[in-house]
Structure 1
Amino acid sequence: MKIFDAHCDVLYKMWMNPKVSFYNDLRLHTNYANLKQTGSSNIQCFAIYVPSHVHEQERFQVALEMINIFYEKIMTCRGMKFISSKSDALRLQANEIGAILTLEGCDAIGNDLIRLKTLYRLGVRSIGLTWNYANAVADGILERRGAGLTSFGERVVTFNNEKKLWTDVSHLSEQGFWDVIELAQYPIASHSNAKTVTPHVRNLTDNQILALIQRNGMIGVTFVPEFLEKKGNATVYDVLRHIEYICSLGGENNIGLGSDFDGIEQTPYQLWNYSYYSILINELLKKYPERIVKGFLSHNFLEKMFF
C-alpha cells in the first residue's frame, strides 16, 4: 500500500551532520533504502526546521541550506520525484518516490512575506506557523503568553489560501489554532495526536479535532512516544488507539500519518524506522477494511491536496 508521511526531520539531521547520507545511512529513520523497501509510489514530506539556537538573522539562510540539501542529496537519488502539485502526486509511477517540501515554523521568514514567497517558489507546499515558541506569526504551544495570530500571521495564512497551501497548526498555541480555523482554507495538523487519549500539551483537544474535521482538514497521527503514551513507553498499538479515538469523533476521512521520524530520539516499539511501516499496516488491516486503511495511509492526505 502507498504511504503518505506528512512529517520527518531528515533535512535537519543532514544539516546538523553533513556526513549523514540519505541513501542508506542507518542514522536516519527515513532514508532512500527504507523508502524503496517499504513499497511503491510512497510520498514523504521533508520538513525545513531551523533550530532555535540559530541566530534570527541567519535563519533564512539555514532554510535555504536545507533546501539545497533536499535538491542535491535527496532528489538526486534514482526514482525520487519532486512533488509540487496534486497532479505530480497522481502521476507517480510504481518505481518512484514522491517528495514534498514543508516548513516547520515561520521563524526562518521573520516578518518578511517575500521570504515566504521565495520558499513557495522553491517548492514549499505546507506552512507550519510556529515551532513551540513565539515568532512574528504567532505564539507556539509552549509560549506562556498563549497569544494567537499576529497581523503578519494573518497575511501569511492569506497567502497560503491564495496559493492553496496547507496551513499547519501542529506546535501552534491554542488561540493561534482557533484563529487559523477562522481564516485558513486548508488547515492541517501534520503531526499531532489526541489529547483525550494522551494528555500532552502538543496533542489536540476533542474540540480542535472536531474543528479540523468540520473544515475538511487533516490530522497526521504521529509516532512521538510521549504524544502516544503518557510515560513514553509507546508501541504500535498506541498509534492504533489514537487512530481509533479520532475515528470515534467522526474523523475517519481526516486521519493520516505524520511520523516525525528523525525528529525523535526514541521510536515506538515495532516502529523503529520507516521500513517497519509494514507492521503498522498489518495491524490496521486487522481492525479496518482495506479501503479505510488506504485512506489512513495516503488517500485522505491526497484527497485534501489542492495545490
Structure 2
Amino acid sequence: MDIIDLHCDTLLKLQQSNGELDFKTSDELNVNLTRLKEGQVKIQAFAIFIEPTILVEEKYAAALEQVAYYQQAVLGENPEMKQIKKWDDIKKLKDGEIGSFLTLEGVEAIGNDLTKLDHLLDLGVLSVGLTWNPANLAADGVQEPRGGGLTAFGFDIVAKLNDRKVFTDVSHLSVASFWDVMKVAKYPIATHSNVLDLCGHVRNLNNDQIKAMIERNAPIHIVFNPPFTVEEEIQKIANINDLVKHVEALVTLGAMKIIGFGSDFDGISSHIEKLTHAGQFQNLIIALEEIFSKAEVEGFASQNFLNHLPS
C-alpha cells in the first residue's frame, strides 16, 4: 500500500554529516532511498529544521544549505526521486518514481524578512510551521512559558501561505497560537502530532483542537515518537498497537477522513517497535488492517492527504 509521510528530519542529518552519509543506502538514515522503496513510500516530505544553537545571523544560510543537500544528495544522485514543487506535480509521478517536497519547521531562518520566506517557497516549500518548540518573531511554541499566540508578523506569514496555497502546520504551536492559526489559515495541517488524551505530552493535540481540525477538514498526521505515544512512566517501550490506539481515538472523535502519517524519522531519538525506519511502514499498515477496512487504511496511508490538498 502506497505511503505518504509528511515529516522527516533527514536533511538535518545529511547536513550534520557534511555530506558523508549516502542517501541511497546509509543505515544511519531512517529515511534513505532503499528504505523508502522497502516501505512503499510514494511521497516523502523533507523538513528544513535549524537547531536553536545556530546563531541568528547564520540560520538562513543553514536553511539554504539543507535545501542544497536536498537538491544534490536526495534528488541529484537519485533520478527516481522527484520534487513536487506545486501540488499538481503529484499527478505527474510515474511508476517507480518517489515524490518528495520540502517543508519548513519553524521560521527562525527568515528573521523578520518575508522576502526570505518567498525565496524558500519558490524553492518548493509546501508546508510551514511557524515555530519549533520555543517562541520566535512569529509565534509562541509549545514550550514557551508565557503561552502567547501569533504576532503581527506571524499573521502576515499565514496570509502569505494562504496566497501561495501552502499548508500552515500547527504541530509545534502553543495552544494560543494554534487557535490564532485556525482563525486565519486557509490550509491548516498537523504534520506530526498525536492525541493528548492518550499521552500527556505537551506536543500532542487536545480534543478541542482535534475537533476544530475535523470541522475545518484539516489533516492530522500521527507521529511515530514513543514519548508522544505512551506515558513514559507507564511504559518505556512503545509498540505499533500503542500507535494504532491514537488512530482509533482520532476516528472516535470523527477524524476518519483526515488521518495521515508524519513519522518524524531522523528527528527522534527512540522508535516504536518494528517501526524504526521507513522500510518498516508496512508493519503499521498490517496492524491497521486488523481493525479498519482496506479502504480506510488506504485513506490513512495516502488518500486522505491527497483529498485535502490546497486548491
Q: TM-score, normalised by structure 2?
A: 0.97
CA distance in 2 between counterparts of 1:114 and 1:123 reads 14
1:290 maps to 294
Q: 2:285 aligns with which of 281, 285, 297?
A: 281
Q: Give CA-to-partner distance per residue, 1:91-143, whole Å, 9 cap, x none.
A: 21120000010000011111111110000001101001100001110011000
Deviation, 1:265, is 1.3
- Using the aligned pairs only, state the percent identity: 42
Deviation, 1:26, is 0.1
Contact 2:130 2:139 in 1 (8 A): yes
CA distance in 2 between counterparts of 1:278 and 1:126 reads 25
2:55 maps to 55
Deviation, 1:39, is 2.2
Question: How do residues 34-49 of structure 1 correspond to structure 2 at under 5 angstroms?
Answer: 34-39=35-40, 42-49=42-49
What is the letter of the counterpart of residue 186 of structure 1? Y
> Structure 1: where are the runs of 5+ without partners?
none
2:81 maps to 80
Deviation, 1:90, is 2.0
Equivalent pairs, count: 306
CA distance in 2 between counterparts of 1:100 and 1:302 reads 14
Deviation, 1:38, is 2.3
What is the letter of the counterpart of residue 16 of structure 1? Q
1:21 maps to 22
**Other structure's SS at 2:99 match:** strand
Q: Give CA-to-partner distance per residue, 1:192-235, whole Å, 9 cap, x none.
A: 00000111100000000011111111111000100001114211
**Other structure's SS at 1:200 match:** coil
CA distance in 1 between counterparts of 2:39 and 2:193 reads 23
Deviation, 1:302, is 1.3
CA distance in 1 between counterparts of 2:63 and 2:260 reads 26
Contact 1:6 1:191 in 2 (8 A): yes
2:274 maps to 270
Q: Give CA-to-partner distance per residue, 1:133-173, whole Å, 9 cap, x none.
A: 01110011000011100000000000011111000011111
What is the letter of the counterpart of residue 298 of structure 1? S
**Other structure's SS at 1:75 match:** helix
**Other structure's SS at 2:47 match:** strand
1:302 maps to 306
Deviation, 1:36, is 1.6
1:172 maps to 173
Once the two structures are overlaid, the 10-residue window that deviates more, 230-239 or 49-58, is 230-239
What is the letter of the counterpart of residue 28 of structure 2? R
Deviation, 1:86, is 2.3
CA distance in 2 between counterparts of 1:78 and 1:36 reads 14
**Other structure's SS at 1:126 match:** strand
Contact 1:86 1:302 in 2 (8 A): no
Contact 2:86 2:124 in 1 (8 A): no
- Structure 1 residue 196 corresponds to structure 2 residue 197: yes
CA distance in 1 between counterparts of 2:40 and 2:74 reads 18
What is the letter of the counterpart of residue 260 of structure 1? D
What is the letter of the counterpart of residue 283 of structure 2? I
- Structure 1 residue 154 corresponds to structure 2 residue 155: yes
2:245 maps to 241
**Other structure's SS at 1:100 match:** strand
Deviation, 1:85, is 2.2
**Other structure's SS at 1:244 match:** helix
Once the two structures are overlaid, the 10-residue window that deviates more, 14-23 or 176-185, is 14-23
- Structure 1 residue 216 corresponds to structure 2 residue 220: no
